[in-house]
Amino acid sequence: MKLMICEQDPQQIQLIKNVLNNYKFKHIIPKKDGDVYKMVVDQKPSIIIFNEKFHKETGEALLNQLRSNPQTDNIPIIYISSDLDLNEKLKRFSNDSLVQLLSEPYRLKFFRHYIDRWTTFRSLYVKQ
C-alpha cells in the first residue's frame, strides 16, 4: 500500500513514518511546490495525509478537486490543520466518511486509529 504524506515539516514527516512503521507502507512525499493533485492521480495512494500549510492552494480546493474526480473520490484523506474551527470551516467534508479532519496538536493514538480504519478495516469504511 502507498501512503502519501503532504507535510512541510521534515520532523513531522519522520514522526508519521515512525508511528506507521508497522504497516510496511511505501511512503510518497511530494515536493512542496509540486502539483499534489497530479501526483495523486499518477501514484494512486491508498491514504493521503495532508497538512493545510503544505501547499499554496487552500486545502479545501484540493479536497474539492479530489472528491469531484471519480479516480480519486474513494481515497481516504487525513486533513490536518491548526485552525480551531476546522469542522465549521470544512463543514461539507465533516460528513464524508473518507475525510478525517484533525486539529493540531492531535493525539497519535487517534491518528493510528484512522489509519487502521482505512487499512485493516477498509471493507467497512471504503466504498469499492
pLDDT in tens, the chain (128 residues): 888 888 888 888 888 888 888 777 888 888 776 677 888 888 888 888 888 877 766 677 788 888 888 888 888 888 887 776 665 566 666 666 677 777 777 777 778 888 887 777 665 555 54
Distance CA(42)–CA(25), nearest Å, equals: 17
Task: Provide the grid cell at 89.
Answer: 470551516
Whole-model pTM over 0.85: no
